[in-house]
Amino acid sequence: MIIGLKKNIAQWMVIYTRSNFEKKVDKNLKEQGIVSYCPLITSRNKWADRVKTVEKPFFSSYLFVKASPLEVNKIKSSPGVITLLSHNGKHVVITELEIEQIRSITQNYADAEVISLKSLKIGDKVKITDGLLVNKEGLVNKIMGTKVLMVIEQLDCAVVVKVNQLALNVAS
């Protein structure tokens, strides 16, 4: 039966974890034989007496798991897991392409960071970190859902950018 087969198909889902438990949950799930992915980014932390390179989760309190609906209860009961993200009562499913894009970003952009669209404000100075306008800076003039109208002075123009949360950095 086609419906039964679809229920057994493993799909990428998003796990919400306890704060600072991303790597522990990832390790625990892998030990249970569940495909798990905790995107990590390497950063250099500087203290007064030393500099240390550390790997930290790219998404705070989130990681991804490729599992079938039959494995959901096992995942939810794992230590450190709060829940699987859902929308309208259904688990949020991430495509393989989106997972590969996240892998590519974390492997190729050492200074990448996640910025919530909710944290963007009119007047913020932002730097585009991916795509055709990479490294261009501009000011946010208007926010329209997932689109941002920004002025790019270097190009003497204004553009509307469909914002990928991973494609903008708030410039300092």
The structural domains of the chain, with segments of one domain joined by +, span: 2-108, 117-170
Task: Name the architecture of domain 2-108.
Answer: 2-Layer Sandwich (3.30)
* CATH number corresponding to 117-170: 2.30.30.30
* Predicted local confidence at residue 132, as pLDDT: 61
* Predicted local confidence at residue 76, as pLDDT: 93
15 has a pLDDT exceeding 90: yes
The whole-angstrom separation of Cα 158 and Cα 139 is 9
Confidence label for 3 from pLDDT (cuts 50, 70 and 90) = very low
Distances (CA, A) of 152 to 72, 98, 122, 157: 46, 28, 14, 6
pTM metric for this prediction: 0.67
Give the pLDDT confidence of 98-156 residue by residue, as tens digits. 888 888 878 877 666 666 666 677 888 877 766 666 777 777 777 777 677 676 665 55
